[in-house]
Structure 1
């Protein structure tokens, strides 16, 4: 029992570590796609649009990581590999989705996302991120 707990704790730490790294990369990608400094928008400006986009992006990453854990069926190295590969696919597709929505809608999506006034386009983009994650999660499982 103690051995199982130790092994599970090690796996949880490994998945959490990889998940946090992927979330950091995800934040950096969103920062690149939006004008200005995203950290400033979130913490100094308290920009709700930026918060919705970042929150949905982090939730999307968590969905992919969770699916990778479940799909690995206790095989840690396989699960970590799934996590990295499928998360990378998810981040790329989420970035492309951002660019496609930006190209197909009026205005500049990045500017809308950092505007202080709430905008429904932010919800569309956020749901698109979560939708991409659910699709990738289903492909893993």
Structure 2
């Protein structure tokens, strides 16, 4: 219920009461509920970070050399483009997995982890299919010094696979 205030009209006129709403109803505030939600958010974040780390690990296995080194030390543009596509796609999958997970915390965390790992595996399959289906050696492209259009195309394919995977979870 909103608070009611009394307002005075000019001093030469009789006093009248006019309703004026000054407050907002906040309801009951529960510290316990807030604490549970903070713990749940942290646990979902940890699951998401683990899924992203698994995606990085799989990507590192499927590309020549150390992907971390190629991206962050050697600044190879094709490695950066493909890695960005992969991480963006996995982030979409992780967000969808969390949204689609059960309302029960334990089951929800398990759902998010399993859906996330399925997403990682599907991204890996997409990368392998591209390696087989596309002419030339994609693996050689990753180490190239100049950005190649096929790296951008690969990143877009990975985003599309991530989008399809995310939609399948909803």
* Cα distance, 1:2 vs structure 2: 2.1
1:1-141 matched pairs, under 5 angstroms: 1-72=30-101, 74-141=103-170
Structure whose CA Rg is larger: 2
**Which is richer in helix?**
1
Hey, which bits of structure 1, 4+ residues long, moved more than 3 A? none
- Residues 32-60 of structure 1 deviation map (CA, whole Å, 9 limit, x = unaligned): 11111111111211112111211221222
In the TM superposition, what is the alpha-carbon distance from 1:62 to its structure 2 partner?
A: 1.4
RMSD of aligned alpha carbons = 1.5
CA contact (8 A) 1:68 1:80 kept: no
Q: Distance in 1 between matches of 2:35 and 2:87?
A: 28
CA contact (8 A) 1:15 1:80 kept: yes
Could you state the TM-score of these two structures normalised by the residue count of structure 2?
0.76
| Structure 1: runs of 5 or more not aligned | none
What do residues 13-33 of structure 1 show as CA deviations (whole Å, max 9, x unaligned)? 111111111111111111111
Aligned pair count? Answer: 141
Q: Partner residue of 2:18?
A: none
2:101–2:112 contact (8 Å) kept in structure 1: no
- Could you state the TM-score of these two structures normalised by the residue count of structure 1? 0.90
Q: Please, which runs of 5 or more residues in structure 2 have no aligned partner? A: 1-29
Q: Distance in 1 between matches of 2:128 and 2:101?
A: 32
Higher deviation after alignment, 65-74 or 85-94: 65-74
Deviation at 1:117, TM superposition (A): 0.7
